[in-house]
Amino acid sequence: MKRREFLRDAALLVAAGGIAPTWAIAETNNDLLRGTLTMDASKKLATLPADYMGLSYESAQLANPEFFAASNKALIALFHELGARGVLRLGGGTSEFTAFTTEEIAGPAPFDVVGPDTSKNVKGDTPITLKSLQNLRGFLDATGWQCLYGLNLGRGSVSRAAEEASYVFQILGPRLIAFQLGNEPDAWRNRYRPATWTYEDYRKEWVTAREAVVARVPQAKFAGPDVSNKVPYVTGFAEDAKKYEPEVVMLTSHYYAMGPAGAKDVTMEKLLAPDPKLERDLKVIMEAARGAALPYRMDEGNSCWNGGQDGVSNTLASALWVVDVMLEFAVGGCAGMNLHGGGNGLYTPIAGSIAAGFERRPEFYGMLLAKEFVGASLIASTLVCDDADVKAYVASKNGRLMALVVNKTEKMVAMKVPINHAKSQWTLSGPAIDARSGVSLAHSAGNTLHGDELRTSPYSAVLVQE
Ligand code: BDP
């Protein structure tokens, strides 16, 4: 059937009370965005490592030793869904309020869960006990994940951090990737340190703390600088890391797309639009990482700091943002991402507690789609499309090409892709862009391409694989 006839028939069908295919309606409304995605097969970009997927939790969560424990089967199952391997990063603002102790603590934990919604209220010392660490080991063994462990340097003492490090090292064994010394030291100015605080000051403290840790744990490995956003700390740390090869094993920094929550410019539109700062900063960070021959990991981040924005951080918009940002970082050469969360925070990928049960939030589904790229090699591609809120990626996995279109617009997208027969398709979608529930990732077998054209409904993402 010719296209015009089909559209006419679709319109008649609607007039008669029937249901026309959504893309036919979109086209009759002249609401179709066209695009072309071409690839340069000779240019392989990065391959996403087996542990690209990651989550970040507040260190204070360890104060409840039952949370990260082999007995928390429901949480383990959700971690498994996100990856057979992955990285759990422990740190965040509350890591400066933790107090390690070898004494057993009687009575209930100070709280069941702590997430971005409550982390700012944790101002008293929260205990981390041997039981917390032993249970954490059981949790990591059960998930198959490894851990980046943040020590309290902002408010804690160096000798206590070194003591904690010796137990963490012993108990976590091969599950420990590295220690981090302090959370967001670039934000300590006027908080835990004087107004004159710079990277140079942090470097001095880092060197002292590193010496203390290495004195207790000669085989200790480090990652850092775990900064909030100040790129000069990352470049400075990368340069200094060369002196500590092979102890420093990873470069890390955080990425929040927006913030603080509640600010006027924290909107869904902004989250869905390209972030020029990300592109700019990632280039500099990756240059530093390559110069120091270190992998770089975005080890804490999410859509909007200060707990997230209701109606944005917990909606389909956040799911579309997450899959796109995870691939954008990968294209840049990033070795892994840890989405921050926990508790019942607005931006957490997994919400809930042992007592209430755990639930997959919209971001979880975005992560699930990104997970399909683990082990895949991204291929250099060129996207021509009128709307910058449409993104696309090409990769090859097990010799099969895959193409992803992330449509963050209200229009249907018809994209020419360098694949003309797909065996598998994944669709990330939800009832509405601001839907807080009903977001899903559907997988289907069979060819869904129209020739070499991939149709992606408004506010959805579609991945096809040969
Ligand atoms: C980051 C902190 C993290 C917070 C987050 C937020 O490291 O602990 O949860 O901000 O404000 O700076 O949401």
Is 96 within 8 Å of 181 (Cβ atoms)?
Answer: no
| Superfamily (CATH H level) for 50-371 | Glycosidases (3.20.20.80)
H or E element at residue 299: strand 296-304
Ligand 1 neighbours, Cβ below 6 Å, are 58, 92-93, 116, 119, 183-184, 228, 300, 305-307, 340
User: Alpha helices, DSSP H only, in 88-230?
Assistant: 130-143, 158-172, 199-216
Rounded CA separation 35/17 (Å): 32
- Nearest CA residue ID for atom 9, ligand 1: 116
C-alpha of residue 77 to centroid of ligand 1, in Å:
26
- How do the domains of the chain map onto residue ranges? 30-46+377-465, 50-371
C-alpha of residue 97 to centroid of ligand 1, in Å:
13
Atom of ligand 1 nearest to the CA of 183: 7
Q: Which of 180, 305, 339 to mutate to test the pocket of ligand 1 (most atoms within 8 A of CB)?
A: 305
* pLDDT at residue 14, rounded to an integer: 41
Atom of ligand 1 nearest to the CA of 93: 8
* pLDDT at residue 30, rounded to an integer: 67
Instruction: DSSP letter for 128, please.
Output: E
Rounded CA separation 65/71 (Å): 10
Q: Which of 119, 121, 338 to mutate to test the pocket of ligand 1 (most atoms within 8 A of CB)?
A: 119
| Superfamily (CATH H level) for 30-46+377-465 | Golgi alpha-mannosidase II (2.60.40.1180)
For the chain, which residues score pLDDT lower than 70?
A: 1-30
C-alpha of residue 222 to centroid of ligand 1, in Å:
21
Task: List the one residue out of 408, 367, 435 whose CA is nearest residue 271.
Answer: 408
C-alpha of residue 220 to centroid of ligand 1, in Å:
26
Q: Residues with Cβ < 8 Å from 152, sequence gap 6 or more?
A: 59, 95, 96, 97, 98, 99, 100, 160, 161, 164, 182
Radius of gyration in angstroms for the set of CA atoms belonging to the chain, rounded to a whole number = 23
H or E element at residue 57: strand 54-58
C-alpha of residue 389 to centroid of ligand 1, in Å:
27
Rounded CA separation 354/149 (Å): 23
β-pair partners for 57: 90, 341
Q: Which of 117, 148, 300, 312 to mutate to test the pocket of ligand 1 (most atoms within 8 A of CB)?
A: 300
Atom of ligand 1 nearest to the CA of 94: 8
C-alpha of residue 185 to centroid of ligand 1, in Å:
13
Atom of ligand 1 nearest to the CA of 58: 8
Q: Residues with Cβ < 8 Å from 129, sequence gap 6 or more?
A: 65, 100, 101, 102, 103, 104, 105
- Nearest CA residue ID for atom 11, ligand 1: 306
Task: List the one residue out of 169, 254, 244, 151 whose CA is nearest residue 203.
Answer: 244
Atom of ligand 1 nearest to the CA of 95: 8
Task: List the one residue out of 405, 225, 439, 420 whose CA is nearest residue 318.
Answer: 439
* pLDDT at residue 16, rounded to an integer: 42
What SS3 state is found at 34?
strand
pTM of the model: 0.93
Q: Residues with Cβ < 8 Å from 99, sequence gap 6 or more?
A: 125, 126, 127, 128, 152, 156, 160
Q: Residues with Cβ < 8 Å from 408, sequence gap 6 or more?
A: 272, 273, 317, 320, 321, 324, 389, 390, 391, 459
* pLDDT at residue 60, rounded to an integer: 97
Tell me the pLDDT tens digit for each residue of 136-179: 999 999 999 999 999 999 999 999 999 999 999 999 999 999 99
User: Alpha helices, DSSP H only, in 217-275?
Assistant: 231-241, 268-272
C-alpha of residue 306 to centroid of ligand 1, in Å:
6
Rounded CA separation 67/242 (Å): 37
